[in-house]
Structure 1
Amino acid sequence: MKLGVMLPQNWKFDPRTDLTRAAREAEQTGYDSVWVSERLLYPQDQTGIHRLTEYGDGAWPDVYRKVLDPIVAMTLAAAVTTRVTLGSAVMLPPLHVPYRLANSLAGIGAASGGRVVAGLGTGWSVDEFAAAAPRPMAERGAALDEFLDVAEAVWGPDPASFENERYTLWPAETGPKPAAKIPVYLGGWGPKALDRVARRADGWLPVMVPPAQVGATMTELRAKAEQYGRDPESVRATAIIALGGEFVRVDSAERAPYQGSVEQIMEDVAALAAVGVDEAVFTLHTIAGDIEHYSELLGQFHSAFRAAAI
Structure 2
Amino acid sequence: MNIGVFLPTGQDQWAPVGDPRDLIGFARRAEQLGFASLFVNDSLLTPRIEPLTMLAAVTPVTERIRLGTGALLPVLRRPVQTAQTLASVDQLSGGRLTVAVGAAFPGRFGRPLHELSQVPWERRFARLDETVALWRALWAGATEFHGEFHSFPELPPATRPFRPQGPPIWLGGATPAALARTGRRYDGWLPYPPDPADYATGLAAVRQAAREAGRAPEAVTPALFVNVRIDEDPEAARRTMDAYVRSNYGLPLEEVEHIQAIALGTPEQVAATLRRYTQAGARQVVARLGALELKGQYEQLERLADLVAPTVPTAPTAALVRPASR
Structure 1, unpaired ranges of 5+: 42-64
TM superposition shift of 1:189: 1.5
Root-mean-square deviation over aligned CA pairs: 2.4
Equivalent residue pairs, number: 279
Q: Which residue of 1 aligns with 2:32?
A: 28
Q: Provide the rounded CA distance (Å) in 1 between the counterparts of 2:233 and 2:172.
A: 29
SS in 2 for 1:240: strand
What per-residue deviation string (whole Å, max 9, x for no partner) do you get for residues 128-182 of structure 1? 111114x3011211110111111111222x3543223533052532114234631
Q: Provide the rounded CA distance (Å) in 1 between the counterparts of 2:8 and 2:232.
A: 20
- Out of 279, 290, 293, the position equivalent to 1:290 is 293
Change (3 A) 1:292 1:257: closer
Please say if residues 210 and 257 of structure 1, whose CA atoms lie closer than 8 Å, have aligned partners that are also in contact.
no
Q: Which one-letter code corresponds to 1:38 in the other structure? A: D
Q: Provide the rounded CA distance (Å) in 2 between the counterparts of 1:84 and 1:182.
A: 15
Corresponding position: 1:108 with 2:89? yes
Corresponding position: 1:272 with 2:277? yes
Compare relative contact order (CA 8 Å, sep 6+) and give the higher one, 1 or 2.
2
Q: Provide the rounded CA distance (Å) in 1 between the counterparts of 2:274 and 2:153.
A: 44
- Out of 126, 144, 167, the position equivalent to 1:182 is 167
- Out of 179, 182, 185, the position equivalent to 1:197 is 182
Q: Percent identity?
A: 28
TM-score (norm 2): 0.79
Q: Which one-letter code corresponds to 1:236 in the other structure? A: T
Q: Provide the rounded CA distance (Å) in 2 between the counterparts of 1:225 and 1:209.
A: 24
Please say if residues 247 and 259 of structure 1, whose CA atoms lie closer than 8 Å, have aligned partners that are also in contact.
no
Change (3 A) 1:176 1:235: closer
Q: Provide the rounded CA distance (Å) in 1 between the counterparts of 2:287 and 2:65.
A: 15
- Out of 89, 94, 98, the position equivalent to 2:79 is 98
Structure 2, unpaired ranges of 5+: 236-256, 314-326
Please say if residues 8 and 18 of structure 1, whose CA atoms lie closer than 8 Å, have aligned partners that are also in contact.
no
Please say if residues 180 and 205 of structure 2, whose CA atoms lie closer than 8 Å, have aligned partners that are also in contact.
no
**Greater displacement, 204-213 / 70-79:** 204-213
Q: Provide the rounded CA distance (Å) in 1 between the counterparts of 2:301 and 2:204.
A: 32
SS in 1 for 2:282: coil
TM superposition shift of 1:291: 2.1
Change (3 A) 1:36 1:169: farther
TM superposition shift of 1:274: 2.2
Change (3 A) 1:160 1:278: farther
Q: Provide the rounded CA distance (Å) in 1 between the counterparts of 2:89 and 2:273.
A: 33
- Out of 33, 40, 45, the position equivalent to 2:44 is 40
Please say if residues 33 and 305 of structure 2, whose CA atoms lie closer than 8 Å, have aligned partners that are also in contact.
yes
- Out of 139, 149, 157, the position equivalent to 2:133 is 149
TM superposition shift of 1:260: 2.8
- Out of 112, 115, 118, the position equivalent to 2:99 is 118
What per-residue deviation string (whole Å, max 9, x for no partner) do you get for residues 239-291 of structure 1? 111135966448xxxx996233222111121222223211111111xx22322
Q: Provide the rounded CA distance (Å) in 2 between the counterparts of 1:113 and 1:309.
A: 21
**Greater displacement, 190-199 / 266-275:** 266-275
TM superposition shift of 1:222: 0.5
Corresponding position: 1:136 with 2:140? no
Q: Provide the rounded CA distance (Å) in 2 between the counterparts of 1:248 and 1:232.
A: 41
Corresponding position: 1:304 with 2:307? yes
TM-score (norm 1): 0.83
Q: Which one-letter code corresponds to 1:215 in the other structure? A: A
Q: Provide the rounded CA distance (Å) in 1 between the counterparts of 2:292 and 2:203.
A: 35
Please say if residues 174 and 193 of structure 2, whose CA atoms lie closer than 8 Å, have aligned partners that are also in contact.
no
SS in 1 for 2:228: coil
Please say if residues 36 and 66 of structure 2, whose CA atoms lie closer than 8 Å, have aligned partners that are also in contact.
yes
